[in-house]
């Protein structure tokens, strides 16, 4: 069987009892970065062998690993943080297993965008997950798509590109569009800033951000409803 096991995005306590048990029982753990994952496994006294499985080799290793699992091996896939497959490697291995009739179980657990969305103060009954925007080709098309969405949109971003991305969002959505920026989720210096895109640009221009970033952008109807209520 293949297990997809979410790992903490910050605080090492954000792991389930089931996840710890599975990681200790499987024959092999596939990890995005074995050095990063070794810290987590050492913390919980888990000694299961590790093997690298990341975006640079998953094209070559997914079929091989699926064959080994089909032959009787139990394997867990983890990423550096969060749920495998969500802006992290995982899809190719899952597909290879499904094609061979191998059972796949994804455990519930940590992922960065859920706490960021709920904490944003924006509507979360319906949302669109964009993940990381393209760096060059297709970026403007995706920004225009986001601007037209009626529901809250979730974007992952690097702290080094945050201000630029907020500026680009302001250009297509309007500087008064409501948004939030969450960083260092589940860590000691966790922080969420809320306001208009213009306000967020001013804040992070004055105070350079650190840590992993999740941006939540209000849908266009949310912007319209705020204007109608003024």
Angle between helix 162-173 and helix 139-147 axes, rounded to 10 deg: 50
Segment holding 148, helix H or strand E: none
pTM assigned to the model:
0.89
| Tens-place pLDDT, residues 84-107 | 999 999 999 999 999 999 999 999
Helix, strand, or coil (residue 5): coil
Q: What is the pLDDT of residue 221?
A: 78
Q: How many residues does the chain have?
A: 230
Give the model confidence (pLDDT) of 199-217 as tens digits.
Answer: 999 999 999 999 899 999 9
Query: What is the homologous superfamily of the domain 2-106 according to CATH?
Result: Tetrapyrrole methylase, N-terminal domain (3.40.1010.10)
Other C-beta atoms within 10 Å of 128: how many?
15
Q: Are 138 and 146 in contact (CB under 8 A)?
A: no
For residue 230, the model assigns a pLDDT of 43
The more confident residue out of 188 and 123 is: 123
Tell me what the mean pLDDT of segment 61-65 comes to: 94
Evaluate whether 182 touches 120 at the Cβ level (below 8 Å).
yes
pLDDT of residue 33: 93
Q: How far is Cα 144 from Cα 148, in angstroms, rounded to an integer?
A: 7
Residue 7 to residue 40: CA distance in whole angstroms:
8
Summarised one tens digit per residue, pLDDT across range 64-87 is 999 999 999 999 999 999 999 999
Domain boundaries, the chain: 2-106, 113-229
Q: Kindly state the tokens that stand for 114.
A: 């859920």
Both tokens assigned to 32: 């995005």
Contacts 24+ apart (CB under 8 A), 32-38: 32/78, 32/79, 32/80, 32/88, 32/89, 33/80, 36/80, 37/7, 37/78, 37/80
* Complete DSSP assignment for 79-111: -SSB-TTSSSS-HHHHHHHHHTT--EEE-----
According to the model, what pLDDT value does residue 106 have? 97
Residue 13: what pLDDT?
A: 92
Return mean pLDDT, the chain. 94
**Residues 78 and 30 sit within 8 Å (Cβ to Cβ):** yes
For the segment 117-145, the average pLDDT, to the nearest whole number, is: 96
CATH 3.30.930.10 for domain 113-229, yes or no, is no
Helix spans in 126-219 (H): 139-147, 162-173, 197-206
Average pLDDT over residues 193-203: 98
């Amino acid at each position: 069987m293949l297990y997809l096991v979410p790992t903490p995005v910050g605080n090492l306590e954000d792991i389930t009892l089931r996840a710890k048990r599975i990681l200790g029982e499987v024959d092999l753990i596939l990890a995005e970065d074995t050095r990063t994952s070794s810290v987590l496994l050492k913390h919980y006294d888990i000694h299961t062998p590790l093997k690298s499985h990341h975006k640079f080799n998953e094209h070559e290793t997914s079929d091989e690993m699926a064959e080994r699992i089909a032959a009787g091996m139990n394997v867990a896939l983890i990423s550096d943080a969060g749920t495998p497959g969500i802006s992290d490697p995982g899809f190719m291995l899952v597909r290879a297993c499904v094609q061979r009739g191998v059972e796949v179980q994804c455990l519930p657990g940590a992922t960065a965008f859920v706490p960021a969305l709920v904490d944003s103060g924006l509507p979360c009954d319906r949302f669109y997950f964009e993940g990381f925007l393209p760096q060059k080709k297709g970026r403007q098309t995706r920004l225009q798509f986001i601007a037209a969405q009626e529901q809250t949109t979730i974007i992952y971003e690097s702290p080094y590109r945050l201000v630029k991305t907020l500026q680009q969002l302001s250009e297509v959505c309007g500087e008064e569009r409501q948004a939030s920026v969450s960083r260092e989720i589940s860590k000691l210096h966790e922080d969420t800033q809320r306001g208009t895109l213009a306000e967020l640009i001013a804040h992070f221009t004055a105070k350079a951000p650190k840590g992993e970033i999740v941006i939540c952008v209000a849908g266009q109807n949310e912007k319209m409803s705020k204007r109608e209520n003024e």
